[in-house]
Every structure is written in C-alpha cells, then in structure tokens.
C-alpha cells in the first residue's frame, strides 16, 4: 500500500520535523508526534495526540483554569479583608457614638433626678404654704 504522507527514515528525523514545523507553523493543525507506519514501515507525522499527551494537555488546561480561579479567589479574599476593615471601623464609630449617647443619657438622668428632687421640695413647700394658709384661716 502506497502512503501519501511524508516518509521519515527514523523517528528522530520525524521528531526534528515536528519541532521545526511546530516552531513556525500558524496552521490550525500542527503535527505533534511521530508514529511508525504499519504499511510502509517509515515514520509519519500526525496532529493527533496520543492518550497521554491528551491527558497532559487536559491537565494543563485544568491547571490553568485553577490558577485563574485562585486569582479570582484571592481578589475576593482581599475585598473581604477590606470589607472587614470597613466594618471594624464602622463598629468603632458606632461604639464611640454609643458611648457619647450613654454619657448624655447619664447626664439627662442626673438632671431628671435633680428636677424630681426640686419638684418634691416645691410640692412640700406648697403643702406647707397651704397648711399655713389653712391654719391662718382657722385662726
Ligand atoms: Zn506509511
């Protein structure tokens, strides 16, 4: 059976051509390996990957997408860190505001206490005055 493919006398010659073509070819299918032909007993080139090469390429592809995912995750983690810092500073702000309100509240309570005391004093003064008035009118 006559082979139409380029025939190489040895695997090395075939592989040299794989490298030569692969380095400068812009074809969509480029030869990736050499195989010994059963028909002509010469070596030919093929663009078909063998199973191991295919597996390696798939693993490299997977590794690449994992790298990209890793970059994305790092970015997410960074923005998570930034968010945490934002939240921490907001919590600090709110705690400070709360402290101020607590102090104001304490002062208002104390003022309120003073006013209640003053109110009691005034009531008792009014009672005294009205008792005096009653006593005066009873006289
Ligand atoms: Zn052949």
CA atoms within 13 A on the CB side of 104: 6
Give me ligand 1 centre to Cα 39, in Å: 5
Task: Output the pLDDT for position 65.
Answer: 92
Q: What is the per-residue pLDDT for 28? A: 65
What is the 10 CA–ligand 1 centroid distance (Å)?
12
What pLDDT shows up at residue 79? Answer: 84
Report how far ligand 1's centroid is from the alpha carbon of 7 (Å). Answer: 7
> 12 CA distance to ligand 1 centroid (A)?
16
> What is the total residue count of the chain?
139
Give the pLDDT confidence score for residue 109 in this predicted structure.
84
pLDDT block averages, 10 residues each, the chain of length 139: 87 91 72 90 86 82 92 87 89 90 87 86 90 79
Alpha-carbon distance of 18 to 30, in angstroms, equals 8
């Amino acid at each position: 059976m006559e082979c139409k493919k380029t025939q190489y006398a040895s695997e090395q010659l075939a592989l040299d051509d794989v490298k030569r073509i692969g380095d400068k070819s812009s074809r969509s299918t480029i030869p990736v390996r050499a195989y010994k032909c059963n028909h002509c007993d010469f070596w030919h080139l093929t663009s078909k990957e063998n199973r191991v090469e295919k597996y390696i390429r798939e693993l490299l592809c997977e590794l690449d997408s994992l790298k990209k995912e890793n970059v994305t995750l790092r970015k997410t983690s960074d923005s998570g860190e930034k968010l945490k810092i934002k939240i921490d500073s907001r919590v600090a702000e709110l705690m400070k505001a709360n402290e101020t309100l607590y102090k104001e509240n304490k002062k208002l309570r104390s003022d309120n206490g003073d006013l209640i005391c003053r109110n009691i004093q005034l009531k008792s003064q009014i009672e005294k005055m009205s008792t005096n008035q009653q006593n005066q009118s009873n006289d």
